Structure 1
Amino acid sequence: EVNKKHEVRQIETASRKPDRPETTIREEDIFKDLTGRDEQIRTVLTKGVAGIGKTVLTQKYTLDWAEDKANQDIQFIFPFTFRELNVLKDEKFSLVELVHHFFTEAKEAGIWSFEDFQVVFIFDGLDECRLPLDFHKTTILTDPRKSTSVDVLLINLIRGKLLPSAHLWITTRPAAANQIPRNCVCMVTEIRGFTDPQKEEYFRKRFRDEEQASRIISHIKTSRSLHIMCYIPVFCWITATVMEDVLETRERGELPKTLTEMYIYFLVVQVKVKKVKYDGGAETDPHWSPESRKMIESLGKLAFDQLQKGNLIFYESDLTECGIDIRAASVYSGVFTQIFKEERGLYQDKVFCFIHLSVQEFLAALHVHLTFINSGLNLLEEQKSQLFKIFKGKNKPNVFYQSAVDKALQSPNGHLDLFLRFLLGLSLQTNQTLLRGLLTQTGSDSQINPETVGYIKKKLSDNLSAEKSINLFHCLNEMNDCSLVDEIQQSLSSGSLSTDELSPAQWSALVFILLSSEKDLDVFDLHKFSASEEALLRLLPVVKASNKALLNGCFLSKRSYEALSSLLSSQSSSLTELDLSNNNLQDSGVKLLSDALQSPHCTLKTLRSLSGLSSFFSLCCLFCRLSACNHLERSCEALSSVLSSQSSSLRDLDLSDNDLQDSGVKLLSAAVKSPHCTLETLSLSHCLITKEGCTCLASALTSNPSHLRELDLTYNHPGDSGMMLLSAGLKDPHWRLDTLRYGECLVGKEKLEKLSFPYFLFLSC
């Protein structure tokens, strides 16, 4: 699945996820199987947004090994970066020659074979790769001493054709993770950012003055944008840098509350540092000089041009395209060390990058804004005839900002979302005043904001995707306009909200409010708004971010099940429990949800469906009252397929009050036999099961043994012989089943051992 979401969208999604248990892996255990299945983990893919600490993690792993602190069973660790490998794009190496090229010690030691050693290859920064990694057309290579292109080497190493005994650790930003086929990766891990308590801990450690730290923490919490971005350690550092300067120079002055203000202050702080540290100036001297203006203008052009191309790492050729020579770039990185940095590997050319993607996007927006203010040129226009067109007339700023909105909305992957926030934030006169000295003139038209705000609100009525709508609300926030949100918020607070009369823009505002709330989205109950299909489809982003969704009795149609199927298959869904009681699913609904529940991204653990007295409580498929046996059998086949799927995470399954009969139980038993089946509780009350069905269940429980711990067969017709087969299993030490329900009685393993079997049968009747 291609992740087309901008990283800020991913961060915002992660910040909304309800807390739930996750498997934590220490970096020294990255290749160890912690599941108890004793499986070999060859290739690990670690994801994380920019600035989250992927490179630092791999460096710590290598350092701990080098200092004999961990993983001493490994003989060699070879850490590579894709930045280093990019410059070898047109050269040929064998795997051994590539190692010798970067690690001369191995060559000097006369090591020309790695098959007999425990070796770890680290490839850091897949998102920076400029090699053509085509896993479908590359020829197979098995000889580590045969020369070929670097991309062919990497592909065969990752596929396990080359040096299959080696371990590989690849790091990447989420958007590039899909470059590696899923079947080539044994385990995917993710580096998470700061939790809310860790954010507070960071600022309390940075600011020793308790009152000062509390004020900063309290202020950040009042701005949802700032609080979300503090998920990234780098942004916490940026925020702390700005807050420290503002508190020192403005005493009790107002702290920046939008992203645009924060980054303007950050830029000004870095310019002041340059003035004092490198130019010998005083703190009170004007910090903008012709030289510093030229530097920022050049960096802004580089940021914008490369953002358009999707480049975050810049080589000499990239700089040349932007009119910056390598010597000037080195000076910039030496002066603006906290904005732009130069890096050099052991054998690579110089490479440059901004300290974080958001810094590049801010400078790109600043460049576009400066160009327009100073010359009237709109750099966002695609046609060359328009590129150099100077807007004339009263509304030229509005045309400019509106074209930026349109351009960002057209982006399929949201790569201009944060750029747009910054650009619209820069339209404010107050923010332009903060940049005096850099701006030679400012846009002073008092009608800019109202007309641009109106244009954005009009766009919000166009039934945009949830992600695009949310970004537009953040844009309004950057422009200090919260009218639409305040209007819905007041209705919510007073209890007077009527969803029957909401416009598309107001629906979007409601979604934004619910997703921006500091309260965890533990339970979403559609009945609190409107038990209708329209309300569900409007509020799907909230359902997606919730832990549990109650959609019972909402008269849903196939359209809703298509939307829910897409939601459940999404990588960013947080939903673990879904109640679809008293909805008419039919076969089409069963099929759609079954397909979704087989997705490796599905996190659902419990799915409940009731129709009249029939129920289904699970994570894998759902049943309504299907009276025709052939329909029911097809549903059982679909469910069996889901339960047997490697991606299934079903724990609890309730199929009570469905006429499964022995034929349906036979299909389910086949699924229970699967080593991938994770069922722990199975309820089959009132399902017309006889001895034949019980025999199938007993066989399934014996052959695996399964994970099943509790089985409910109340109000069925197994007969004494059927019950004897299953109850005997309670005494089998290999079975995990420890609770069997039959009739009105509950008999556990401990009690059964103390009772004679005839007495057990008597209790069960």
Structure 2
Amino acid sequence: MGQCSGKKSQAPRRGSPPGAAGELLLHTLEDLSQLEFKKFRDALAHGDLGGRSCIPWGRLEKADWMDTKNIMLDFYGGEGALDMAITVLERIQVRNAAARLRESRQRGGKAEGLPDFQRNYKKAILQAYSRMKDQNARVGDTVSLSARYSKLVIVNKHRDKEEREDEIVAMGRRHAEIMKEQASASIVVSDLFKPGPDGWTPKVVVLLGAAGMGKTMTARKIMLDWASDKVFAEFDYVFYIHCREGNLLTSQASMADLITQCCPDSSPPLAEMLGQPEKLLFLIDGFDELRFSFDRPQSELCSQPFEKRPVEIILSSLFRRRLLPESSLLVTTRPAALRTLGKCLDCERYAEILGFSEVERKEYFHKFFENAEQAAAAFQFVRGNETLFTMCQVPIVCWIVCTVMKQQLGRSGGLACSPKTTTGIYVLYLLALLRSLSGRLKPSMPGVLRRLCCLAADGVWRQKVLFEEKEVQGYALDQREALPLLLNEYLFQKDIFCVSTYSFIHLSFQEFFAALFYLLEEEGEAEKPPAGPTRDVKALLESYGSSRNYFMLTVRFLFGLLNAERRRELEEEMGCKISPRITQELLAWLQNSQQTALALLMKETAAIRELEVCHCLYELQDERFVATALDPFTGVCLRGLNLNRFDQIVLAFSVKNFPTLEWLDFGHCSFLWDPPEDGTGQQPAGQANRLEKSGLKEETLQKLAALREVKPNLNIGYL
């Protein structure tokens, strides 16, 4: 590394107004990953900057994007800060960002030459889309969209049935590997309207994504990036139409009226805009939320942009290319509406949002928490829970997990105190989906959810994750309100035809609904579902006992859904009665499962010998139940296991509430602080006989140490 001058630059260059330079610089910094931003600041403070002065590290060490932008403007001036940013980005090998900044800077001069209205429209879009509100935002709470947004894996190829099944079933490391493979072949948003290998440029692009997968956030980021001259420079105007907005469906309007609603000025130059329709892009967000029929005869469609007709006619005409056929369309939708969309729109390019890869999940945690230590602690905790980590592929689940953990880390006791269990996170995910429903649809949802639980349980029993159309119809789940919300639809080629197949977003979500099947109280319905599994939970538990792993997550969810708070939350939102009637059956099964015939024959001391028992009790979060369940036992015997951070918290919960505990045996167990691939995970050998050097997480050590004070004769062994 070369040496930096210790003095501030004497004569910063002048050129672009500081406001314009600052805006360009801020957008560039916000688009950097957490690691890239850290390298950027380090290079500003310590790098070889070609004789230019470095900024003292003390000013940059804790600076966020906004702070860094202001420091650079103060230190180098507007043009000098842009020069320095390009130099540093190239120095740290982030050349794409350097090229984008250089392009945006060059276009900045041209922007002054844009027509006044076009320039003002872009400014209004920047103002409207630069900030976002979280679902739990209070009045005045907003965050930067660019600062929060993390790259999503987007693919533009159809996967076959076997590939879909692998994605739905895979957990933990295997799921992360699949997402990594998909990410290596993913496309970026800016390429959606680029020519294909054959040189053909699409005019109509459909962007698919399951519920909570980030379609609307991506659509809003597209608007922001277009206004910032980062994407789709070929379009003079991009108009955002959200299908959920009620006023869209209530009255007659013309296409010119819809465009005017998108504009900040009530008198846009419509004749000029509509005179070049090939320069217009309509971003239609949430097609699946449109509630009208598109089966309109050609004679009812319109072709004149100033003709007033019902909005459904206007949109149908736009989709079917009778209205402004030279314009381009980008339509987002959930997979279950794909067939309906196909009836009114010729999709020329298909792309699907798969969610976050492992790298992007970690990036999202760091962007959300801002505090690096908290982000690392939360991410490591979640990675130890493979069910939760897998579902963090879904952006809304990632947001729920981060939101809950940020609140927990702000309390004494941290993540080990007042935890949200895996069941609790899945409940919050379901509630988030249900709250997105319009009031008109909510009365029908209790019946829909009961039938959905029947389908899920039937699939779990038959080890089935892809359902044929006739099976979904058999449960009366082919209604438009049910499919897009909770089921995904896929089209597979079969011989010379295409067939529809349905699935839950992941097997774990199917197992969540299957567990709910055993707890929902039956209520009279007009339509009885086809014969499926009985509600006899004993049959499930017996099958789990013989298969050991197949029903494991379903059984965990059974315990988690018995939690009184979880039941109350679901009853309030679902409108269904959830009964704890299976509590005694679960209690008896758990106790009997640990008293094996061999142990009884050998007259061994009654002990908990499976960590899975602790996981089930942890999901329930009921200390009285845990004490009752563990009362017949005197010890815990876990041998030859790798216990990660999450396992240790789970174990500590049972140990804390174990009324008759006399001994613990952790023979040949490894206690992992971090995931093994980090290279720092397993604790060194030779720490076996002392509690304080056992490798247990600090919270676990505190609980065990406190327990030994109460029970001086407690025997703890590690060999």
- Structure of larger gyration radius: 1
Name the TM tier (shorter chain). 0.3 to 0.5
TM-score (norm 1): 0.37
